[in-house]
A and B are shown apart, each in its own frame.
Chain A
Amino acid sequence: MTQPASAYFIEERHDPNETHTLSVLVQNEPGVLARVIGLFSGRGYNIESLTVSETEAQKHVSRITIVTTGTPMVIQQIKNQLDRMVPVYRVVDQTLTGRSIERELAMVKLRGVGDARVESLRLAEAFRARVIDASTESFVFEITGGPTKINQFIELMRPLGLVEVVRTGVAAITRGPEGM
């Protein structure tokens, strides 16, 4: 039996999901991150990645970069909900600007000896990953780049003795002379 629609059970609009990167400038007061995260969990939005750090210490301003997915209507709603929060100065949809640079840093640990070890070094070089720790049976690589590049690197490392990965999440900035 088909259920009729009600706003409580809003019919899945079959708009395709999009991934957007949002930059959020906030007043760095206690609990501000909890507020932002609480908004996402409370309203059922997705967080793919989230990075936050104080960027202007004197003005107590922090910048949060959030990668989220949703239909265009949900993405718009997320931006509006963020924008109306009291400690939020501004929200910029980096994906909509179409001119954003996105970078992420990952540290990738490998364990292995012999050919796999040599192969991992060769691949690291091709990806411009640096060795930041080494022992006779392990490496830790540091790699920066867009999420796709990092995903690709990790996949290549997997058969070569991948132990663990840590990623910072995406940081994004707009090209050109203007700030946010």
Chain B
Amino acid sequence: MTETKSHDANQMTGAAMIVRALIDHGVEHLFGYPGGSVLPIYDEIFQQDQLQHILVRHEQGAGHAAEGYARSTGKPGVVLVTSGPGATNMVTPLADALMDSIPLVCITGQVPTHLIGNDAFQECDTVGITRPCTKHNWLVRDIKDLARVLHEAFYVATSGRPGPVVVDVPKDVQFAVGTYHPPRRTDVHISYTPQVKGDPVAIRKAVSMLAGAKRPVIYSGGGVVNSGDEACRLLRELVEVTDFPITSTLMGLGAYPASGKNWLGMLGMHGTYEANMTMHDCDVMLCIGARFDDRITGRTDAFSPNSKKIHIDIDPSSINKNIRVDVPIIGDVANVLGDILTVFKAEAKKPDIKPWWQQVATWRARNSLAYKKNSELIMPQYAIQRLYEATRGRDTYITTEVGQHQMWAAQFYGFEQPHRWMTSGGLGTMGYGLPAALGVQVAHRDSLVIDIAGDASVQMTMQEMATAVQYELPIKIFILNNQYMGMVRQWQQLLHGNRLSHSYTEAMPDFVKLAEAYGGVGMQVIKPGDLDGAIAEMIKVKKPVLFDCRVASLENCFPMIPSGKAHNEMLLPSEATDEATAAAFAGGKALV
């Protein structure tokens, strides 16, 4: 090696390359857990101060934290874990991120190349195991490929429909010396070039359908949030220009403000009556960045039977997957909406849909989110409402676990901005919310970050309280504690003859003591009258808080479209008598 070469700043070990590449991609925080196969990388992290590493207590926590980080910033979340169990513990967050289109770059250590396939200590086939739960993955066997693969990884994770990627780096490659090159334009993956711009013919057709609509609806999804702030701005402008009613999926909440006058609330299995009826009876449906998931459509052959459907999606495989659409437009939401607005403003005028709005008003009047007030017990819906009132107008981010509390949060917490709502939609991962809140708080140090949790879910990743304490992340874990796996119990009650098989948590920890054991703050509220004061106190505390909110234990989440029923067969809370419920759910036991 010549004198000049040894001083070449781009000559470095694989481990140094990884740290350098992360910095070059603008990464400020990474979430991880060390182990034998990533020690060289941890050694590099130790010797620099541009990247801050957040040490979690379980790799799954790192993954969900990175998801929360990504979802709240629009930037990719980065995770570093070791081989074997480190990698397998990441499988749940990777699958979660794939379902919800969250950009994650996960770097896993691997045993040295000469040991691969030998059943070495802490070896597993990481690329094999993670292949179906990543957008793409790589095993880097040669230091010469490392810089290119790292740059490709960021490109693939963030372009097109975002998603998680894994770069598996054997330990000898981390030690090997090679030449680094900074990201350059050619580091895009040559076979992966997603279509961003919509087909102008389809756009024109869509505009004429919109302009001719008598009973239109806009159905927007997580793709709008993923596309970015411009997409959300354009969505709001489109609603303004057309005056169409708009509903959204769970993942899309916040793209259009909940206080907007055209807002119908969320749609789907636990969506509002007005949103689902509007979907069912519309004549033109504009689906933007959503994927006709089974939780949205209900019974597919009775889904919005008389409408023409326009579907904007960057992923061609979302088109015609569950529901046949009339005008597919493949492209990025911001790009396509921009074109639709330009054409609409130039060539169309807003249709008269006054009768349609009158119809919507009658549906709204059903007040489908009503619940029975109670002066003795805290109703879970009431708890969310009070939390919302106490935090609206503040700089607040909400995460959730999965279950009844998640649906109540979606129904009763009003989101005004995108990127403020982090929830596990597709995979439905209990234990998502606490670590996700960590990730959000890392990105937004001074904001109020609340995990609306259930007592069962939160125990799945409770260990991350230690992380919150260590990094002084004052996350608020607002537990709607009904002492059941509420959604499981609800389904058992509705579909399985009220045989509550293993859905009651017999040995509930004392959450107050638990919080204190971790070095956080524990609070408990039992009476509705004490709720507001306690919430105010929780917000004031500058430490992680476990807030044990004891709620009515047998409350069910309504309205509800029973599995396998159509949008116009919703069960409203006021009508959910035992007989009506039994009839509505008859025969649905086998469905998910």
Contacts and interface: CB of A to CB of B under 8 A. Distances in A.
Contacts of A89: 191
A4 B589 CA distance: 10
Contacts of A30: 139
Contacts of B324: 73
B317 A6 contact: no
Given A31-B131, A35-B131, A86-B136, A7 B300 contact: yes
Q: How would you classify the secondary structure of chain B's contact residues: helix, strand, loop or mixed?
A: loop
B300 A8 contact: no
A73 B563 CA distance: 23
B539 interface: no
Contacts of A83: 316-317
A34 B131 contact: yes
Nearest to A72: B320
A7 B322 contact: yes
Interface in A36-80: 38, 42, 73, 76-77, 80
A120 B560 CA distance: 69
A42 B132 contact: yes
B200 interface: no
A87 B106 CA distance: 19
A179 to B, nearest CB: 16
A137 interface: no
Question: What bracket does the count of chain B residues touching chain A fall in?
Answer: 35 or more
Contact of B565 (A4, A9, A31, A35): A4
Nearest to A84: B317
Nearest to B299: A5
B319 interface: yes
A86 B191 contact: yes
A3 interface: yes
Interface string B231-268: 00000000000000000000000000000000000000
A46 B123 CA distance: 32
B294 interface: yes
B320 A8 contact: no
B298 interface: yes
Interface residues of A, number: 31
Contacts of A8: 294, 563, 591-592
The prevalent SS among residues of A at the interface is mixed
Contacts of A80: 316-317, 319, 321
A30 B316 CA distance: 25
B188 to A, nearest CB: 11
Given A5-B299, A30-B139, A42-B132, A86 B189 contact: yes
B135 interface: yes
A76 B590 contact: no
Nearest to A5: B299
Nearest to A11: B301
A88 interface: yes
Given A35-B131, A84-B317, A5 B301 contact: yes
A169 B563 CA distance: 42
Contacts of A86: 135-136, 156, 189, 191-192
A73 B300 CA distance: 14
B127 A31 contact: yes
Interface string A147-178: 00000000000000000000000000000000
Contacts of A88: 191
Interface in A1-19: 1-11
Interface string B119-131: 0000000011001
Contact of B190 (A4, A27, A38, A76): A27
Contacts of B135: 86
B443 to A, nearest CB: 27
B588 A4 contact: yes
B472 to A, nearest CB: 39
A77 B563 CA distance: 24
Contacts of B297: 7
Contacts of A2: 587
Contacts of B591: 3-4, 6, 8-9
A84 B320 contact: no
A6 B294 contact: yes
B401 interface: no
21 contacts: A3-B564, A3-B588, A3-B591, A5-B564, A6-B294, A6-B300, A6-B563, A8-B294, A8-B591, A9-B564, A31-B131, A77-B317, A77-B321, A80-B316, A86-B135, A86-B136, A86-B191, A86-B192, A87-B191, A87-B192, A89-B191
Ranked nearest first, the 7 interchain pairs of A and B with the lowest CB-CB distance are: A7-B294, A4-B564, A80-B317, A86-B136, A6-B564, A6-B591, A80-B316
Interface of A: 1-11, 26-27, 30-31, 34-35, 38, 42, 73, 76-77, 80-81, 83-89
